Amino acid sequence: MLELKNLHAKVVPEDGPAREILKGLSLDVPAGEVHAIMGPNGAGKSTLSYVLTGKDGYEVTAGEAKLDGVNLLDMAPEVRAAKGLFLSFQYPMEIAGVPVMTFVRAAMNSQRKQRGEAEVSAPEFLKLSKIAAAKLRIDPEMLKRPLNVGFSGGEKKRLEIYQMLMIEPRFMILDETDSGLDIDALKVVAEGVNALRGPGRGMLVITHYQRLLDHIKPDRVHILSAGRIVKSGGPELALELEKSGYDQILKSA
Amino acid sequence: MSEGKEIIVKDSIDQGTVDAARALESDKYAEGFVTDIEMELAPKGLNEDIVRYISAKKEEPEWMLQWRLDAFQRWKEMTEPTWAMINYPKIDYQDAHYYAEPKGAAKYKTIDDVPKEILETYAKLGIPLKEQEVLLGVEGAVGTAAEARETPPKSSQPRVAVDAVFDSVSVATTFRAELLKAGVIFMSISEAIREYPDLVKQYLGSVVPVTDNFFATLNSAVFSDGTFVYVPKGVRCPMELSTYFRMNAKGTGQFERTLIIVDEGGYVSYLEGCTAPMRDENQLHAAVVELVALADAEIKYSTVQNWWPGDADGKGGVYNFVTKRGDCRGARSRISWTQVETGSAITWKYPSCVLRGDDSTGEFYSIAVTNGRQQADTGTKMIHLGKNTRSRIISKGISAGKSNNTYRGLVSIHQKAAKARNFTQCDSLLIGQTCGAHTVPYVENRRGDAQLEHEATTTKLSEDQLFYTRQRGIGEEEAVALLVNGFVRDVLQKLPMEFAVEAQKLLEVSLEGSVG
Amino acid sequence: MQLLDLPSRRSEAWKWSDLRAAMAGQENVLIGSGELGSEGPIAALAQVMGDAYGPSALEITAPGETFESRITEGDAGQYGTVVVKAGATATLVERLGVSGSRLRPFLPGYSRIEVEPGATLVRVVVQANDVAVGEADAAIVLNEAVVKLGKGATFRQFVLGEGSRLTRIETSVEAGEGAQIEMNGVYLASAKRHVDLTSRVAHAAPGVNTRQLIRGVARKGGRGVFQGKFLVERAGQKTDAAMAHNALLLEEGAEIFAKPELEIYADDVACAHGNTAGQLDEDAVFYLRQRGIPDVDARAMITRAFLIEAVPDWVGDELKAEIEARIDAWLGTPA
Ligand SMILES: Nc1ncnc2c1ncn2[C@@H]1O[C@H](COP(=O)(O)OP(=O)(O)O)[C@@H](O)[C@H]1O
Ligand SMILES: [Mg+2]
């Protein structure tokens, strides 16, 4: 479903020299699978998520990235989103003055419009929202407040998953969604995520901790270091990592 | 994309393409049509005879004529102010008609006398003038009765009474009779001068003195029409009142004069809308609005200003030089100004509050959007004279294209204004690299127990927020609109519901083509 | 002789500091032979007055130098240029003071300062007259510095203004790429004193960082004026500028007038200003009193802390102590 071949990408800061972050990254996530990506700080995990979703300030210098055989890299961010790509941000944005529900509804309708589908009606939207909020134990009052403004770290992450449930993407990237969540919240969020697992869908879960993978069981685990996948394995790789740390594993890789 | 507004003629592009692109530009201003109707104009120019002509047209009493003539004498000795951050070629005050009315307008007795063209004009602008249509909630159409019957009446929908001012005359005022039952006088100022001379004499010029400033003095000499409202003691006006100003005739200026008096304990919410056709020339709109709130009275005044802003190259557009001031004359009175300014080539406007009564409150909520070559210099003055007076200013400025947008405001605490309070928040947003956003607050404090706070920020639209929004599948234009809406939300919420929706749409249209 | 057209409250930049009114009856001091310069009233007056004196020029090349100048009534009309050469660091201390010996001293001073690329200038201006706080002071003190900053230059300025019949200390900065600016100030306006700190910073190149913090207090019959303007020109992308002016009116009859202004033509900037004018935080006063500190002392302590926050460490220990002592003396003197 998601195919990355020899991906090279530079970060191009506005006020500094460009730096290569991804240095020949290859990865294959077949439809229906969930893959985890682990790796030390600064390895390029978030960079990968931005390159795939089309953030400005990153330049792909070589390689390719395809979703269902279609080249992602030439498309505008919103077009990629309408193709079913969703990123749960490591640092969700605060958007002043735009209530959560207004925002999500605008997103759903934009995507539907791009795909030539009918807009979601108000009652339908409210129904879906109620279900998603209940699943994630989000107080519906919270959804009337401006997006992420004044929300705690954990609340923001929960709202990312709420948006995901509403939008029902086909390929999801979760960038450290577990950070900031307490133990109960982690469970709730994981249940929400698991609800979206299915044969037509794929997922890339970026995390540092096994405890998320206890709830969202990955099919494969990859270790990303210095811009490359240096080791891949089954779920046991994450456990091994938990025990011995990156240094050990990287040495043996 | 700011460059998108610039049309550069390249060798390979012929003039036809350029014109077509320009036409597209102008398409955005849906109110830019011209009504074809026979007009009666005063001769061009400004002199004593013209002042007499206007007064005679309005069948005014002698005292009113004298008032105008005095103003005209004073005006001749005044000079145009230059302190605002606006630039425009010298205005030739002799090169305009100071009076324009549809033929026979003075004699419209009922709505049925109003020519079809004018009714259609207002319908097209979404302002139904026939009361039964308003009652049935028919929107924006002079539809047939049969059509109206098919639309179920929305009883919950608030009704709005309208005074329709077309060039220099008020052509219709709806719900007058019903309002009068509640004691509320709602009519054009021309009629009020004839029918309620004592009230007019008592209050006209009492908030904005005849010699207040160059444009106000000009207005005092030549004002044409506007609205008069009187809400008696203890009366809550049963519906929203509004005036819709339409400038139609070529080569004219419009000199609106509005006077709203709310007696002790009364309340009124008043809305003002305005549009003009697209023309190559610059048209002058020099208005004076006076509000008087007596003890415990409250006035909410909302404006959606959408005069023709001129084309992308700055050709044409309305010069909007406006003096609006409210006098919180009685204790515990309250005046709030809310404005959404999207139109005009030049805006020079400072709706102000004189907080004379103890414990009175003044508020100013503003959204000003400039694009193309527009220039806006707008803000407010809060003059604290009484004890425990409070004021609150929230201003949101958005600049795009090659425009300049200035907030200019004064907060002045006078010696007797014990425990006065002011809070001011001014935020500016820049879209593109060829516009300007300016903040010029003046703060004068003469009281140790006053508490004044002012905050201002100027930023651009956040790239990170834009990306986040686009990642959720929202296209760039829409993403900008969404973020801008968020930026101005605090102020939009101050508008009456129906106006807020309209204002939101207007913002989107005004900013179209500003990113890319 | 040419009588100068003095600015009055009708001119926008002088609306709260009416020089014409302050100098009424004293115009005869303005007898000079020079033509009026085009740069502004203070520059023009300094030049007109200082013709006999002649311009001074100071060039600083060695790092770490400190220069002191004392301008008293004998030096009226001082004007000159200062250049801090590339890479050098210097401290300039200017004392503007009047001993009160003359009836109505008039002190216009004007300097052009250039801080070359990579150089650093610390400028400290102490305006304090020899007249007891609370007594009338007839002096008119005008001072203007026009500062040009090269690429990567650093400019730090602190101004203490105690005012007089009319004191105006004006600073106008044009910043080159990546310049760092800190402009702080404290003013103390007691009875019959007028002190005006006016400044303008033009961000004419990318990446300039500006911080301005002005704190002031006024007592009955005193007037404090702050006019600050940040201009960000089209070329001033990535400007990061913040201005804050906070003032306390300690008594009824005090006046504080402020105009913190932003004029911005570049989009990728973060500019902010904050302005407060009011009274002491009563919660803080209560907190101190609950700890046993008498009301008067509590107020003095909080006011002192409020003012001293704007006195930066980089003025140096000695000057800092001197400035704090002046603030203490001012606060300790009942009006
Ligand atoms: N906008 C940027 N400017 C400069 N460096 C950046 C930028 N974005 C990322 N980097 C650098 O790229 C490297 C990879 O970052 P990131 O992808 O966020 O790592 P992580 O694997 O922790 O998510 C880090 O060294 C980070 O500092
Ligand atoms: Mg990361």
CB burial readout B155-183, b (16+ within 10 A) else e? eeeebbbbbbbbbbbbbbbbbbeebeeee
The C-alpha atoms of residue A188 and residue A153 are separated, in whole angstroms, by 15
Q: Provide, as residue numbers in chain A, all residues whose Cβ is less than 8 Å from the Cβ of B457.
A: none
Across the B:C interface, residue pairs with CB atoms under 8 Å apart total: 122
Q: Quick one: average pLDDT of C295-307?
A: 85
Which atom of ligand 1 lies closest to the CA of A224?
21
Q: Report pLDDT for B142.
A: 32
**In the beta sheet, which residues pair with residue C229?**
C200, C261
Same domain, B304 and B380: no
Please state the rounded mean pLDDT for residues B1-22. Answer: 37
Q: What angle do CA C237, C239, C240 make, to 5 degrees?
A: 150
% of chain A residues with pLDDT over 70: 99
Q: Considering every ligand atom, which ligand is closest to the CA of A51? A: 1
Tokens of B302: 């909302």
| Domain over A2-252 is classified CATH 3.40.50.300 | yes
Residue B416 — pLDDT band, cuts 50, 70, 90?
very high
Residue of B nearest to C258 (CA): B443
First to last CA, chain A: 27
Instruction: Give DSSP secondary structure letters for C28-42.
Output: GGG---SPPPSS-HH
Based on the fold, state whether residues B77 and B8 are members of the same structural domain. no
Nearest CA in chain C to B441: C259
| pTM of this structure | 0.82
Q: Is B155 helix (H, G, I), strand (E, B) or coil?
A: coil
The span from the CA of C182 to the CA of C154, in Å, is 8
Q: Note the ligand closest to the C-alpha atom of A179.
A: 2
> How many distinct structural domains can be found in chain B?
2
Residue at B358 is within a domain? no
- Residues of chain C numbered 306-335 and touching chain A (CB < 8 Å): none
Q: Is the same domain home to B224 and B315?
A: yes
**Residue B100 sits in the same domain as residue B187:** yes
Contacts of C209 in chain A (CB under 8 A): none
Q: Does the structure show a pLDDT above 50 at A142?
A: yes
Q: What is the pLDDT of residue B151?
A: 40
Q: What's the pLDDT score for residue B37? A: 79
Q: Which helix (H) or strand (E) holds B200?
A: helix B197-203
B275-286 in b/e burial notation, b at 16+ Cβ within 10 A? bbbbbeebbbbb
| Least confident among A166-170, B237-241, B278-282, C70-74 | C70-74
- Determine contact: B493 vs chain C, CB below 8 A: no
User: Tokens 């929230």 belong to which residue?
Assistant: B394
- For the ranges B52-66, C124-138, C194-208, the lowest mean pLDDT is seen at C124-138
Closest to A160 in 3D by CA, of A145, A146, A174, A140: A174
A225 lines ligand 1 (CB under 6 A): no
Chain B neighbours, 3+ Cβ pairs < 8 A: A, C
Residue B355 belongs to a domain: no
Answer yes or no: do A95 and B469 touch at CB < 8 A.
yes
Mean pLDDT, rounded, for A79-99: 89
User: Mean pLDDT across the stretch C209-238?
Assistant: 95
Print burial letters for B462-498: b (CB count within 10 Å at least 16), e (below 16).
beebbbbbbbbbbbbebbbbbbbbbbbbbbbebbbee
What's the rounded Cα separation, in Å, for the pair B317 and A220? 64
Confidence bin at C335 (pLDDT 50/70/90): very low
Cα B399 versus chain centre, distance: 19
The string of pLDDT tens digits covering residues C72-98 is 555 555 667 888 988 888 888 888 876
Residues composing chain B:
516
CB contact under 8 Å between B478 and A106, yes or no, is yes
In chain C, at which residue ranges do the beta strands (DSSP E only) sit? Answer: 56-60, 65-71, 79-84, 89-96, 106-115, 120-127, 140-149, 154-161, 166-175, 180-189, 194-203, 209-218, 223-232, 240-249, 255-264, 270-278
Cα(B116)–Cα(A111) distance, rounded to whole angstroms?
44
Answer whether A45 contacts ligand 1 (Cβ < 6 A): yes
CA angle C213, C217, C223 (to 5 degrees): 110
Do the Cβ atoms of B213 and B242 come closer than 8 Å? no
What span, in angstroms and rounded, lies between the C-alpha atoms of C230 and C242?
9
Share of chain B above pLDDT 70, in %: 88
Tell me which range, A175-179, B10-14, C69-73, is most confidently predicted by mean pLDDT.
Answer: A175-179
Q: By percentage, how much of chain A surpasses pLDDT 90?
A: 66
Q: Is residue B284 part of a domain?
A: yes
Question: Where residue C293 falls among pLDDT bands split at 50, 70, 90?
Answer: confident
| Mean pLDDT along residues C130-158 | 88
- Side-chain half-sphere of C115: how many Cα atoms within 13 Å? 31
pLDDT at C69: 66
Which pLDDT score is estimated for C79?
67
A95 and B464 in contact by Cβ < 8 A? no
Residue A42 beta carbon below 6 angstroms from any ligand 1 atom? yes
3-state secondary structure of C109: strand
B77 lies in a domain?
yes
> Rounded to the nearest whole angstrom, what is the distance from the C-alpha of residue C239 to the centroid of ligand 1?
24
CA-nearest residue for atom 3, ligand 1, is: A13
Same domain flag for B53 and B77: yes
Helix (H) or strand (E) segment spanning residue B161: strand B160-166
SS3 B293: strand
Ligand 2 centroid–CA A221 distance in Å is 17
C262 CB within 8 Å of a chain B CB: yes
Q: In what order do the strands lie in the sheet with A34-38?
A: A85-88, A171-175, A202-206, A34-38, A220-225, A228-233
> Domain limits of chain A?
2-252
Q: Using only C-alpha atoms, what is the Rg of chain A?
A: 18
CA angle A198, A203, A205 (to 5 degrees): 135
Mean per-residue pLDDT over chain C, rounded = 84
Do B380 and B344 fall within a single domain?
Answer: no
Percent of chain C with pLDDT over 70: 81
User: Tens of pLDDT along A176-218?
Assistant: 999 888 888 899 989 989 999 999 999 999 998 888 999 999 9
pLDDT in tens, A15-70: 788 999 999 999 999 999 999 999 989 999 999 999 999 888 899 999 999 999 99
Please tell me the distance from the alpha carbon of residue C60 to that of residue C62, in angstroms, as a whole number: 6
Nearest ligand 1 atom, CA A49: 17
Helix (H, G, I), strand (E, B) or coil at B339: strand
Residues of chain A contacting B474 with CB distance shorter than 8 Å: 78, 81, 106-107, 110
Cα separation of B3 and A44, whole Å?
Answer: 36
pLDDT at C203 over 60: yes
CB B482 to CB A114 under 8 A? Answer: no
Quick one: closest CA in A to B493, which residue? Answer: A97
Q: Which of B442, B450, B456 sits opposite C272 (nearest CB)?
A: B456
Q: How many helices (H) and strands (E) does chain C have?
A: 5, 16
User: Which of B470, B472, B488 is nearest residue A163 as measured by Cβ atoms?
Assistant: B472
Is the Cβ–Cβ distance between C241 and C210 less than 8 Å?
yes
Structure confidence at residue B136 as a pLDDT band (50, 70, 90): very low
Take atom 25 of ligand 1 and give the residue whose Cα is closest: A42
Q: Do B156 and B225 belong together in one domain?
A: yes
In 3D, which of C271, C197, C277 has the Cα closest to residue C230? C271
Q: Which residue owns the Cα nearest ligand 1 atom 8?
A: A11
B496/chain C closest Cα distance in angstroms:
31
Would you call B473 and A81 a contact, using CB atoms and an 8 Å cutoff? Answer: yes
Contacts of A15 in chain C (CB under 8 A): 207, 238
Q: From B390, B309, B295, B302, select the one nearest B345 (Cα to Cα).
A: B309
DSSP helix/strand/coil, C275 = strand
Question: Residue B4: is its pLDDT beyond 70?
Answer: no
Q: Which ligand is nearest to the CA of A56?
A: 1
Q: What pLDDT, in 10s, does the model give residues B487-512?
A: 998 898 888 877 787 788 888 777 77
Asked if B214 and B332 sit in the same domain, the reply is yes
Which chain A residue shows the shortest CA-CA distance from C268? A14
- Tell me, yes or no, whether B26 lies in a domain: no
Q: Are residues B181 and B307 in the same domain?
A: yes
> How far off is chain A from C91, nearest CA to CA, in Å?
31
Mean pLDDT to the nearest integer, B201-217: 94
B218 in the same domain as B137: yes
> Is the domain of B336 the same as that of B408?
no
C285 touches chain B (CB under 8 A): no
Tokens standing for B390?
């409070």
**Of ligand 1's atoms, which has the minimum distance to the CA of residue A39?**
21
Does residue B456 belong to any structural domain of this protein?
Answer: yes
Domain encompassing residue B276: 31-349
Residue B158 has pLDDT above 80, yes or no: no
Chain C residues in contact with B433 by the CB 8 A cut-off are 234, 237, 266-268
Structure tokens at B493: 């919420």
The reported pLDDT for the residue numbered B15 is 44
- Domain-embedded: residue B418: yes
With respect to residue B354, please indicate whether it lies within any of the assigned structural domains. Answer: no
Considering the domain architecture, whether residues B124 and B272 belong to the same structural domain is answered as yes
- Whether A223 is in the pocket of ligand 1, judged by its Cβ within 6 Å, is no
Rounded to an integer, what distance in angstroms lies between the CA atom of residue B95 and that of residue B119? 30
Question: What is the SS3 assignment for A13-69?
Answer: CCCCCCEEEEEEEEEEECCCCEEEEECCCCCCHHHHHHHHHCCCCEEEEEEEEEECC
Residue B322: strand pairing partners:
B287, B349
- Whether the CB of B481 is below 8 Å from some CB of chain A: the reply is no
pLDDT value at B447 more than 80? yes
Query: From residue B368, how far is each of A17, B36, B338, B508, B510 by CA, in Å?
Result: 39, 31, 11, 13, 11
CA gap B65, B68 in Å, rounded: 5
Task: Report d(CA A63, CA A5) in Å as an integer.
Answer: 5
Atom of ligand 1 nearest to the CA of A48: 17
Please report the pLDDT score of residue A63 as a whole number. Answer: 95
Is the per-residue pLDDT at B143 higher than 60?
A: no
